[in-house]
Amino acid sequence: MSLYLETDAGIFAVQSKKPNRLFRMEKKNHEIEWAKVVSKMFMLVAWLIVGIIILSGLLLNYPYALLTVDKVELAPEQSEAQAAQPQKIETDYFSADFGVSKLGNSMYEESVKYGFALVSETYKYIGPENGDPKMVYTGNNLACKNCHLNSGTKKHSAPYIGVTTRYPNYRGRENKIGSIEERVNGCMERSMNGKKLPTDSKEMRAIVSYMTWLGRNVPSGEKFDGVGFTKVNLPDRAVDLAHGAQVYTEKCVSCHGAEGAGLKNGNGLGYTYPPLWGKDTYNHGAGMNRVITAAQFIKGNMPFGATSENPMLTDEEAYDVAGYIDSKDRPIKSNTDTDYPDLKRKPVSTPYGPWDDEFSAEQHKFGPFKPIMEHYQNQYGIKKTK
């Protein structure tokens, strides 16, 4: 008998009189087919895995994430400048056009332009020497942009881009949900050593309009790289003031001066180089008077021209020089004892008491900070980074 078997492997002519021989052939052909199905399925799964890897790589911008080292770490309860953790890197919101001169004359655009002027030349409009006693709100002649560089558009200089989308949010200092206006007034009372701007004042509206306009491309609540300050790995030791003084002399004194008094503008209002200590600068309740915050600001922005991508100081230099400038005298803010109703929320480097721990005032001011951070982690499960 002659029999043809058609399989994927070809056509077989089976010639046999023995039925059990035919049976064996059929069985063998089934095995071949089964092996093909399995291998096809295996290939499919393999391609699926490759596909998933490529797709997730694209979505997470994996290669860029690898290159980005300046990430700020912060505990969730400290939602502030650094609260918007860069988790994934998306659109570069810093490359938009922030030139206010091209804006029109609508009421909103006028407000944005006034807001830009206010943060850039604060002293001229609401400073102690602006000429109109009714309009004096700040206690020093700084400008917001002295710390929020490029008028709030520089990466890792606590930029204003997208800031309005992150408020209202939780504020440890008051232990409540705070608005963007309250946050601005936080800097008014501390960094600017002044008093609150009324929420419905033309000035407050303008500052918030400007911030809103800067973040016009940022989706609500979006987290992106560049927010807050750059990361500094804190040395496992207290600030070395002698080293800080040396760094200051080598890398800061040329602009900020031997007495830290800076250099006034030619017209006498405001500063070309702002003061770092003394009467006309941020008070002792300001964020910049915390060594960790100052070190992070300095690392990403000073000497002038430094960026988080191209810093000019090592972490140790930034830490020691931050301690050095914060060791100097400055205006005293009243009522700081009522800051942080929940003391567990107080940043470890807040230099004034009371604290909810046994560490000395000296250690809260100059470190080492890691033991204090570990204490809060172990005792209360609170992760602190500043």
DSSP state for residue 356 in the 8-state scheme: S
Cα-based torsion angle of the residue sequence 42, 44, 50, 56 in order, rounded to the nearest 10 degrees: -130
Residue 169: CB atoms within 10 A of its CB come to 15
- According to the binding rule CB under 6 A, does residue 333 interact with ligand HEC? no
Gap between the Cα atoms of 311 and 262, Å rounded: 22
Task: Pick one of 86, 139, 235, 275: the residue that binds ligand HEC (CB under 6 A).
Answer: 275
Minimum CB distance to ligand HEC, residue 304 (Å) = 4
Gap between the Cα atoms of 53 and 43, Å rounded: 15
Minimum CB distance to ligand HEC, residue 69 (Å) = 20
Which residue stretch of 23-31, 296-304, 326-334, 336-344 sits at the interface with ligand HEC (rule: CB under 6 A)? Answer: 296-304
Minimum CB distance to ligand HEC, residue 381 (Å) = 22
- According to the binding rule CB under 6 A, does residue 230 interact with ligand HEC? no
For ligand HEC, the closer of residues 60 and 128 by Cβ is: 128
| Sign of the four-CA dihedral 227, 229, 235, 236 | negative
Minimum CB distance to ligand HEC, residue 39 (Å) = 55
- According to the binding rule CB under 6 A, does residue 157 interact with ligand HEC? no
Task: Pick one of 155, 171, 205, 251: the residue that binds ligand HEC (CB under 6 A).
Answer: 251
Gap between the Cα atoms of 208 and 66, Å rounded: 34
Gap between the Cα atoms of 14 and 24, Å rounded: 11
**Touching ligand HEC, residues 176-205 (CB under 6 A):** 183-184, 187-188, 191-192
Consecutive H or E run containing 54: helix 19-59
Minimum CB distance to ligand HEC, residue 37 (Å) = 57
Residue 135: CB atoms within 10 A of its CB come to 12
Whether residue 168 is preceded by a cis peptide bond, meaning omega within 30 degrees of 0, is: yes
For ligand HEC, the closer of residues 29 and 90 by Cβ is: 90
Gap between the Cα atoms of 291 and 366, Å rounded: 7
Interface with ligand HEC: number of residues (CB under 6 A): 46
- According to the binding rule CB under 6 A, does residue 112 interact with ligand HEC? no
Minimum CB distance to ligand HEC, residue 329 (Å) = 14
Beta bridge partners of 14: 3
Which residue stretch of 12-20, 43-51, 54-62, 281-289 sits at the interface with ligand HEC (rule: CB under 6 A)? Answer: 281-289
Angle at 295 between CA 291 and CA 89, to 5 degrees: 125
Contacting positions for ligand HEC (CB under 6 A): 80-82, 119, 122, 142, 144-149, 158, 163, 183-184, 187-188, 191-192, 207, 227-228, 251-252, 254-256, 273-276, 281-282, 286-288, 293, 297-298, 302-304, 313, 321, 325
